[in-house]
């Protein structure tokens, strides 16, 4: 989860630097947070179904 958020933050920072914008870092980091939350929740659901 932390790796996904870190990579999203790094990519957003790189895009901000190269394209002289200030919204990429926030947008991609937020997308990475939601993506990692989705992945964690889907894994928890998968594991809980296997335990039944």
Q: Residue 4: what pLDDT? A: 94
How far is Cα 34 from Cα 24, in angstroms, rounded to an integer? Answer: 15
Ranges of each domain in the chain: 2-51
Query: pLDDT of the chain along its 52 residues, tens only?
Result: 999 999 999 999 999 999 999 999 999 999 999 999 999 999 999 999 987 6
Give CA–CA dist 3/19, Å, rounded. Answer: 24
pLDDT at 52: 65
User: For residues 27 and 12, is the Cβ–Cβ distance under 8 A?
Assistant: yes
Tokens of 8: 């999203």
Largest Cα separation within the chain, whole Å, is: 52
């Amino acid at each position: 989860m932390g790796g996904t958020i870190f990579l999203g933050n790094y990519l957003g920072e790189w895009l901000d630097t190269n394209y002289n914008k200030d919204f990429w870092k926030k947008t991609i980091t937020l997308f990475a947070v939601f993506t990692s939350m989705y992945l964690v929740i889907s894994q928890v659901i998968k594991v809980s179904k296997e335990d039944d």
